[in-house]
Amino acid sequence: MKIVNVAVGVIVDGERILLSLRNQAQHQGGKWEFPGGKIEDGELVVDALSRELEEELLIVVDKDSCKPLIRVEHDYGDKKVCLHVYTLIRFSGEPQGAEQQEIRWVNRNELVDLNFPEANEAILEEILKPGFSAD
C-alpha cells in the first residue's frame, strides 16, 4: 500500500490553534484536523504546506515562520499516511473555509475535547506539552 505524504500546519496565534473540520465525504470525515494536504512528487514540504493553506484557507504563509514539529506515520488499514507537521505563526490574510469547511480558532487546552483522526494523536501530544512554543 502506497504511503500518502501530507504537509500539515499547526497555525499558532498565542494560545490559539486554527483547526478545520473534515468534510463528511472525506476519509476521517467529520473530525477536526490541522489544515494541510498532499505533497506532490518533487515538492518541498514547506512549499506544499504554503500551497495547500492558500487553497484551503486563502492565506499566504510566511515560509520563514514554518518550523518542523514532528513526523507521524500512521496506518488506518485502508490508507497509510505520513504527516510532515510544521508550526507556523506568520501569514497574511484572514483564514476562511475556501472549500466550505468549518474552521475554528481553539485554545490549546480545549484540543483534548475535540475528535481528531488517530494520526493526529502524536501531534496533540506535542502541542499539549508544557512549554510548547511555535517560535
Cβ(20)–Cβ(41) under 8 Å?
no
pLDDT in tens, 92-110: 999 999 988 899 999 999 9
The beta strand positions in the chain, using DSSP E, are 3-13, 16-21, 32-33, 36-38, 60-61, 67-75, 80-88, 91-92, 103-107
Tens of pLDDT, residue by residue over 8-65, are 999 999 999 999 998 766 666 678 999 999 999 999 999 999 999 999 999 999 999 9
What confidence tens digit (pLDDT) does each residue in 50-80 have? 999 999 999 999 999 999 999 999 988 888 9
pTM for the full model?
0.91
Alpha helices, DSSP H, located in 18-75: 45-57
The per-residue pLDDT for 135 is: 77
List domains and CATH numbers for the chain: 3-128 (3.90.79.10)
